[in-house]
């Protein structure tokens, strides 16, 4: 969800705050395109994740620290980088 803000906010404020144009890495020309890009991404990724949600994940005993580190790496970093790759 954080990456959607990187898509929408720079396009939204680029005209008012010229320094925000540096954050517009997706080169979206206006806020409509930014919102549409976020909407299309959600429309594609949510159905793709439904089988994973229905199947579930295997339980592996581990410490809280190791589990937190693994989840932050997979879901935190992955959630920020995946939309830019897609």
The string of pLDDT tens digits covering residues 5-43 is 777 777 777 777 878 777 777 777 777 888 888 888 889
Q: What is the pLDDT of residue 86?
A: 59
Cα dihedral: 24, 27, 30, 34 (round 10): -80
pLDDT reported for residue 1? 66
| 25 or 73: which leads in pLDDT | 73
What is the tens place of the pLDDT at every residue in 39-65?
888 898 889 888 888 888 788 899 999
CB 4 within 8 A of CB 38: yes
Count of CA atoms in the C-beta half-sphere (13 A) of 32: 0
Task: Please choose, from the candidates 76, 63, 80, the residue with its C-alpha nearest in 3D space to the C-alpha of residue 25.
Answer: 80
């Amino acid at each position: 969800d954080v990456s959607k803000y990187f898509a929408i906010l720079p396009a939204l404020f680029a005209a008012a705050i010229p320094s925000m144009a540096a954050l517009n890495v997706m080169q979206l020309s206006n806020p409509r395109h930014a919102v549409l890009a976020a909407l299309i991404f959600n429309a594609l990724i949510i159905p793709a994740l439904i089988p994973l949600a229905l199947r579930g994940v295997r339980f592996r005993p581990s410490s809280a620290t190791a589990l937190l580190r693994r989840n932050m790496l997979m879901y935190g970093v992955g959630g920020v980088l995946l939309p830019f790759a897609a």
